[in-house]
């Protein structure tokens, strides 16, 4: 046996030899959004391929009707360049786990300290029932949005859109579990706390049926962008924030409850990031040179449809504002803030608020 | 202080049990009554039982656990750099990572997407929690692997090939094989794709060779980064295996599913074997410089992980539910590895095609020959001369090996099903589907295309099953092109505009590098197009018979 001897390089380290391409140390196959590529872009862009970019052999498996693995037809929206979108929150796995883990630690710390100090027992009795029945019901709305977005993350035409949808789903599902476990744990200190009451109210209480209808309309939408936009541009400002900030976070302190606002606050911070991503995508599509008018009309239709459901849902929630013993904010004030919020959001992306 | 007094006892407070927490979380779902969720990814299976979540984990414990895993991974990457890992790493190994890491982030994120497909199928909400965590896991895997690749690009001697990675993924014939793997996870019948193909077979069986065996070989080549990333990835797989098995158990009790389960277990096992063993077998056997005769060969690893661990302890027990297991396919896959030299023939093909790649492949040397002959008796007689030719023809100015008739290698047909070429010549076959002729590497792959991926299976309508599509023969894309022009179109040219990204050696001096001028003048052709041009009947049969005879490598002196 013999073979030609090989000249073996002594070091495999960068810079140990100079030759063509030896200094090419950046991903060079896409255009960064800014002058320099971000780490998020390097982790994300073009991982989901596209026959219009580098996919030489096209998609190689199709659904039985001929639809390929990914298709632009999965939304009625049109884009002259789907690859232009970048998530404002720039999340990739490490930043996502860091943030989620930090929130989990913060929430657990709040719960532990509140329970150690005996706080739940000092919550006003009427407030405990509000938490049991209504925060308990609301956790299902968050879960519905989480599973809806889990579905939506299959359909987007680029990795950037799908990953932003995926992290949004992850945040919603975490928050729905945060609420579930929070209520379970303070319930242990409260004797007759019924942890099943929330689901009963969600399924049966007329107060919550508008919200459930609005959530199921998002879950049942077959256009992934409709699911994403209806969640963040419509439901969140008109119902989600209205209930979380406009009710729970404003009322709680006056009922002797310092813990619940901290748990709920995490969702508001989540939403700010998810809203920023959604606004960026919606703005890109409503300002598309070729398809902006089409998309604006389409999105206005979605907003009108889901807006009507969300407004009805919000109106049905009004009686909850009367249930705490100490009343420090009114439904009308909260609703006005919600309407101002959606006006601002829609004007930013060139859409008509419902 | 009392001996029994601990800090834990002072601060501990009663909480809900993990099982109860999981139960309450799984009660978050409900059956919609105002608007029904659309079943946008249908299946031909019936799922009548509620699948259980075996992991009983909630996101509150999941996220901190994953962050801790990440901290270990990123700490290890820093430690590797501080320890000057790249000074001692084997370039032969890292070059193959240009291929492996170009492929793997897309299958990973495809697995995340596929959780949407099974998420709505299972009755009840319990397993949806498991699918949720798998979705986020797969997002982790995809981006942590993109990060590892960037890290190699920034620190390894030759970044060319890493720098074009996702573009190369879309264009190279070898990465398309990996795409067949990935698209199989998320296209077609939702259960076939996201449950049987992905979790029951790929994750339960083949991630052991991918994510456990391969990292061991990386460490033997001075690469401590791949093991830290991929063993961390593999630690998530047990959750996915649990999801897959739970869903399988929710279907297996319904006899009307058995026919489809048998089809899909056969398809998924055979195609995973054809794709994963080709690629990972090559990386482990030919990407290493470690020739310790006491270490396991890929065949031995396969026997441990696939035969003993998967076939005997996972597949065989399914028989008690009345499922027919295709023992013959397992035996045939084993024979293809140990008797028919599947991995060696794949490595040989990769090296024949070095000039269409985007990474370097160096020749095997005498030290390698001894190890191969020790592990695979008879190897030298079949492959020794070939690798001597390869070394001889690695100098720029030699006639490139893919077009060099002195060698005696005959360029292979491409398998329409697994997309690996038809390398075991005696198993080559062809068939007609919808009036067109296709070529296959094996009976298993012929069956997959013609029988499994069809609108009907054994007389039963299968309206949800996927179809093969696209330009599946890579060579057809460049039929009639000059070799140099094809490389420019592929983007496999370095920043000076003339030096090739691929090189048939690990010599890093510019004078040793092949350029476009060295490969110009060779014309690419599609073997399938030539085969289809033959007259059906005797002419085509003669071509098949001739192909099955194989070829002989000429002596290299």
Phi, psi of A340 (to 5 degrees): -60, -40
In this complex, which of A3, A21, A97 lies closest to B66 when CB atoms are compared? A97
pLDDT value for B37 = 81
For chain B, positions 34-73, list CB contacts with chain A under 8 A.
34-38, 40-41, 58-61, 63-64, 66-67, 70
Long-range own/partner contacts, residues A74-77 (CB < 8 A, 24 or more apart): A74/A155, A74/A156, A74/A157, A74/A223, A74/A224, A75/A155, A75/A157, A75/A223, A75/A224, A75/A225, A75/A226, A76/A223, A76/A225, A76/A226, A76/A298, A77/A223, A77/A225, A77/A285, A77/A291, A77/A294, A77/A295, A77/A298, A77/A299
Instruction: Determine contact: A13 vs chain B, CB below 8 A.
Output: yes
3-state secondary structure (DSSP) of residue B476: helix
Q: Do the Cβ atoms of B469 and A60 come within 8 Å? A: yes
pLDDT in tens, A315-340: 999 999 999 999 999 999 999 999 99
CA atoms within 13 A on the CB side of B135: 34
Cβ pair A220:B184 closer than 8 A: no
**Phi-psi domain of A191 (left: phi exceeds 0; alpha: psi -120 through 50; beta: other):** left
| Helix, strand, coil content of chain A in percent (nearest 5) | 65, 0, 35
A199·B171 Cβ contact <8 A: no
CA B509 to chain centre: 33
Chain A residue nearest residue B509, CA to CA: A19
Residue A19 near chain B (CB below 8 Å)? yes
Number of Cβ within 10 Å of residue B515's Cβ equals 18
Q: Pick from A139, A149, A209: which is nearest to A180 by CA?
A: A139
Place of tokens 């009947």: B537
How many A-B residue pairs are in contact by the CB < 8 A criterion? 376
Nearest CA in chain B to A74: B40
Report yes or no: B113 and A224 within 8 Å, Cβ to Cβ.
no
Instruction: Give the span between the Cα atoms of B279 and B359, in whole angstroms.
Output: 14
Buried b (16+ CB within 10 A) or exposed e, B356-374: bbbbbbbbbbeebbebbbe
Dist CA B145 CA B151 (whole Å): 10
Q: pLDDT tens for chain B, 557 residues: list them.
A: 556 667 666 667 788 898 899 999 999 999 999 998 877 789 999 998 888 888 888 999 999 999 999 999 999 999 999 999 999 999 999 999 999 999 999 999 999 999 999 988 877 778 888 899 999 999 999 999 999 999 999 999 999 999 999 999 999 999 999 999 999 999 999 999 999 999 999 999 998 888 888 999 999 999 999 999 999 999 998 889 999 999 999 999 999 999 999 999 999 999 999 999 999 999 999 999 999 999 999 999 999 999 999 999 999 999 999 999 999 999 999 999 999 999 999 999 999 999 999 999 999 999 999 999 999 999 999 999 999 999 999 999 999 999 999 999 999 999 999 999 999 999 999 999 999 999 999 999 999 999 999 999 999 999 999 999 999 999 999 999 999 999 999 999 999 999 999 999 999 999 999 999 999 999 999 999 999 999 999 999 999 999 999 999 999 98
For residue A272, the Cα-to-chain-centroid distance in whole angstroms is 9
Assembly ipTM: 0.96
- Over residues A56-72, mean pLDDT: 97
Q: Considering only CA atoms, which of B172, B167, B171, B165 is closest in space to residue B148? A: B165
Q: Do B183 and A61 touch (CB under 8 A)?
A: yes
pLDDT, tens digit (0-9, with 9 covering 90-100), for A239-298: 999 999 999 999 999 999 999 999 999 999 999 999 999 999 999 999 999 999 999 999
Chain B residues inside the 8 Å CB shell of A36: none
**H or E, element range at A136:** helix A136-152
User: Angle, nearest 10°, between helix axes B59-82 and A93-116?
Assistant: 130
User: Would you state the CATH architecture of domain B59-477?
Assistant: Orthogonal Bundle (1.10)
Asked if the C-beta of A37 comes within 8 angstroms of chain B's C-beta atoms, the answer is no
CA distance A76 to A53: 22
Q: A213 touching B, CB under 8 A? A: yes
Give the Cα separation of B555 and B536 in Å (integer): 36
- Domain map (residue ranges) of chain A: 103-349
| CA of residue A151 relative to chain centroid, distance | 13
Q: What is the pLDDT of residues B396-409, one digit of tens each?
A: 999 999 999 999 99
Neighbouring-strand partners of residue B429:
B440
Rounded (5°) CA angle B309-B310-B313: 75
Domain limits, chain B: 59-477
Closest CA to A300 of A233, A231, A253: A233
Q: How far apart are CA A272 and CA A281, in angstroms?
A: 14
Helix axes B105-119, A159-188, angle to 10 degrees: 60
Phi, psi of A68 (to 5 degrees): -75, 180
pLDDT band at A3 (very low <50, low <70, confident <90, very high): very low
Min Cα distance A112 → chain B (Å) is 8
Structure tokens belonging to residue B502: 């691929």
How many Cα atoms within 13 Å fall on the side-chain side of residue B42? 9
Q: Check if the beta carbon of residue B73 is closer than 8 Å to that of residue B256.
A: no
DSSP string computed for B298-327: HHHHHIIIIIIIIIIIIIGGGGGGTPPP-H
Q: Cα(B409)–Cα(B390) distance, rounded to whole angstroms?
A: 11
- Give me the architecture of the A103-349 domain, per CATH: Orthogonal Bundle (1.10)
Q: In sequence order, what are the residues at sequence separation of 6 or more whose Cβ sits closer than 8 angstroms to the Cβ of residue B107?
A: B178, B181, B182, B185
**Which residues, numbered 156 to 195 in chain A, qualify as contacts with chain B under a Cβ-Cβ cut-off of 8 Å?**
159, 162-163, 166-167, 169-170, 173-174, 176-178, 180-181, 184-185, 188, 195
């Amino acid at each position: 046996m013999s073979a030609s001897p090989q000249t073996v390089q002594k070091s495999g380290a960068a810079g140990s030899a100079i030759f063509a391409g030896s200094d090419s140390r950046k991903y060079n196959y896409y255009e960064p959004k800014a002058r320099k590529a971000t780490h998020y872009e390097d982790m994300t862009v073009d991982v989901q391929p596209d026959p219009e970019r580098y996919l030489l052999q096209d998609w190689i498996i199709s659904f039985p009707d001929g639809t390929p693995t990914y298709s632009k037809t999965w939304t009625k929206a049109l884009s002259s360049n789907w690859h232009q979108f970048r998530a404002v929150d720039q999340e990739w796995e490490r930043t996502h786990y860091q943030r989620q883990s930090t929130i989990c630690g913060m929430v657990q710390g709040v719960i532990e300290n509140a329970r150690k100090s005996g706080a739940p027992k000092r919550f006003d009795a009427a407030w405990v029932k509000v938490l049991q029945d209504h925060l308990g019901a609301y956790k299902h709305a968050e879960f519905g949005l989480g599973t809806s977005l889990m579905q939506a993350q299959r359909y987007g035409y680029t990795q950037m859109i799908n990953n932003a949808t995926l992290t949004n789903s992850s945040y919603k599902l975490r928050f729905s579990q945060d609420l579930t476990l929070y209520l379970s744990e303070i319930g242990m200190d409260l004797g007759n706390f019924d942890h099943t009451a929330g689901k009963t109210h969600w399924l049966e209480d007329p107060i919550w049926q508008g919200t459930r209808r609005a959530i199921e309309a998002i879950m049942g939408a077959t256009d992934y962008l409709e699911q994403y936009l209806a969640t963040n541009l419509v439901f969140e400002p008109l119902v989600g924030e209205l209930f979380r900030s406009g009710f729970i976070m404003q009322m709680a302190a006056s009922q002797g409850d310092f813990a619940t606002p901290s748990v709920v606050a995490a969702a508001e911070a989540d939403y700010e990031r998810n809203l920023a991503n959604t606004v960026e995508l919606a703005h890109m599509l409503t300002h598309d040179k070729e398809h902006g008018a089409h998309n604006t009309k389409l999105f206005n239709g979605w907003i009108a449809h889901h807006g009507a459901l969300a407004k009805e849902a919000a109106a049905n929630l009004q009686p909850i504002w009367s249930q705490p013993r100490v009343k420090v904010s009114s439904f009308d004030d909260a609703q006005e803030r919600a309407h101002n919020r959606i006006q601002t959001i829609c004007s930013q992306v060139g859409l008509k608020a419902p | 202080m009392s001996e029994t007094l601990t800090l834990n006892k002072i601060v501990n407070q009663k909480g809900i049990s993990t099982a109860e927490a999981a139960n309450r979380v799984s009660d978050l779902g409900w059956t919609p009554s105002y608007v029904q969720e659309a079943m946008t990814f249908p299946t031909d299976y019936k799922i009548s039982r509620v699948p259980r979540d075996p992991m009983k984990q909630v996101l509150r414990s999941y996220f901190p656990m994953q962050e801790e895993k990440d901290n270990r991974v990123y700490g290890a990457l820093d430690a590797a750099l501080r320890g000057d890992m790249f000074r001692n790493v084997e370039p032969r190994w890292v070059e193959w990572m240009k291929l492996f890491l170009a492929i793997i982030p897309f299958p990973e994120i495809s697995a995340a997407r596929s959780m949407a497909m099974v998420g709505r199928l299972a009755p009840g909400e319990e397993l949806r929690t498991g699918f949720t965590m798998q979705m986020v896991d797969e997002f982790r895997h995809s981006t942590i692997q993109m990060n590892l690749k960037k890290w190699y690009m920034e620190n390894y001697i030759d970044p060319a090939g890493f720098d074009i990675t996702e573009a190369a993924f879309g264009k190279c014939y070898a990465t398309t094989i990996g795409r067949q793997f990935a698209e199989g996870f998320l296209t077609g019948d939702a259960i076939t794709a996201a449950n049987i193909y992905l979790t029951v077979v790929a994750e339960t069986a083949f991630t052991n060779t991918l994510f456990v065996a391969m990292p061991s070989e990386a460490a033997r080549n001075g690469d401590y980064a791949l093991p830290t990333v991929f063993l961390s990835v593999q630690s998530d797989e047990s959750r996915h295996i649990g999801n897959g098995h739970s869903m399988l158990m929710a279907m297996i009790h319904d006899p009307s599913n058995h026919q489809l389960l048998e089809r899909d277990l056969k398809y998924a096992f055979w195609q995973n074997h054809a794709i994963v063993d080709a690629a990972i077998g090559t990386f482990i056997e030919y990407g290493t410089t470690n020739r310790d005769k006491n270490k396991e060969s890929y065949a031995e690893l396969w026997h441990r992980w696939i035969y003993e661990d998967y076939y005997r302890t996972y597949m065989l027990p399914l028989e008690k539910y009345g499922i027919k297991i295709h023992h013959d396919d397992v035996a045939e896959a084993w024979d293809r590895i140990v008797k028919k030299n599947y991995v060696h023939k794949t490595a040989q093909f990769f090296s024949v095609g070095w000039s269409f790649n985007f990474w370097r492949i160096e020749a095997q040397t005498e030290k390698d020959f001894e190890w191969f002959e020790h592990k695979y008796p008879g190897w030298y007689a079949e492959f020794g001369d070939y690798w001597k030719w390869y070394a001889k023809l690695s100098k720029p100015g030699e006639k490139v090996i893919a077009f060099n008739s002195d060698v005696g290698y005959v360029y292979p047909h491409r398998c329409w099903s697994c997309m690996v070429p038809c390398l075991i010549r005696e198993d080559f076959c062809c068939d007609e589907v919808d009036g067109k002729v296709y070529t296959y590497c094996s009976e298993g792959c012929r069956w997959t295309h013609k029988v499994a991926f069809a609108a009907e299976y054994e007389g039963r309508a299968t309206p949800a099953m996927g179809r093969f599509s696209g330009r599946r023969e890579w060579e057809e894309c460049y039929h009639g092109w000059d070799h140099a022009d094809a490389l420019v179109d592929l983007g496999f040219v370095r920043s000076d505009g003339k030096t090739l990204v691929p090189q048939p050696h690990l010599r890093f001096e510019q004078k040793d590098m092949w350029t476009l001028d060295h490969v110009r003048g060779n014309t690419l052709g599609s073997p399938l197009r030539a085969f289809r041009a033959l007259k059906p009947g005797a002419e085509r049969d003669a071509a098949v018979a001739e192909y099955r005879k194989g070829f002989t490598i000429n002596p290299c002196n």
